[in-house]
Each structure stands twice: as C-alpha cells, then as structure tokens.
Amino acid sequence: AQRVTQPEKLLSVFKGAPVELKCNYSYSGSPELFWYVQYSRQRLQLLLRHISRESIKGFTADLNKGETSFHLKKPFAQEEDSAMYYCALRGSQGNLIFGKGTKLSVKP
C-alpha cells in the first residue's frame, strides 16, 4: 500500500522554538518524498524534496528508510512559517499521495 501518515493535525510553537513536523510513509520500492506548504488561502507550493537534499526557508528533511520517515525540521520557527504542511509520496503513476496535513501555528 502507498500511504503517507502525518500524525499531528495541529502543531503550535512559539517564535524561535524548534519545529519538527512528522511524516511516515508506506511504499514498496524506492520512495520519492516531498514537503508542500499551503499558506492561508493560497496554492500549494513545493517546499523541498528528498532527492535534492536542500534547505529552503531554513527547513530541512532527511529520508530515513529504516524508520520510513521524512520529518520536516526547522531550528528556529518564524511567525511567517504558519501554514498547512503536507508530506507527499510519489505514487507509481506519478501523482502525489498526500498525508492529511499538519497545521503549523507559530505564536509571537
């Protein structure tokens, strides 16, 4: 089965605190994983993908095949990081299979 699990519906932190948004996946084969972000009432945007191993807006994510995880991390959260974050897995037909999303709220 191809599945993405984001266990937290809502994550609330204070500005400057570290953030970790959890993502676990189920996929037989070599997975391709992404994080997408949706700011309030805007389109989804690609934040990062595991194959590029980059850091965008201070966020990083490492693919851990042993734990089948792709958690998103940022050492110091900013208020402008408040948004919905979706972890996504590339399906066998190329479409993205999304987790249910985690709403990140960064308080001042």
Count of Cβ atoms closer than 10 Å to residue 85 Cβ: 23
Question: Angle CA(63)–CA(69)–CA(70) in degrees, nearest 5?
Answer: 50
* Token digits of residue 65: 């095949």
Q: How far is the CB of 75 from other proteins (least distance, A)?
A: 26
C-alpha span between 78 and 86 (Å, rounded): 18
Q: How far is the CB of 80 from other proteins (least distance, A)?
A: 19
- Contacting residues toward other proteins, per CB under 8 A: 42-46, 49, 84, 86, 90-98, 100-101, 103
**100 in helix, strand or coil?**
coil
Give the nearer residue to other proteins in terms of CB position, either 28 or 93: 93
Give the nearer residue to other proteins in terms of CB position, either 64 or 92: 92
Give the nearer residue to other proteins in terms of CB position, either 75 or 95: 95
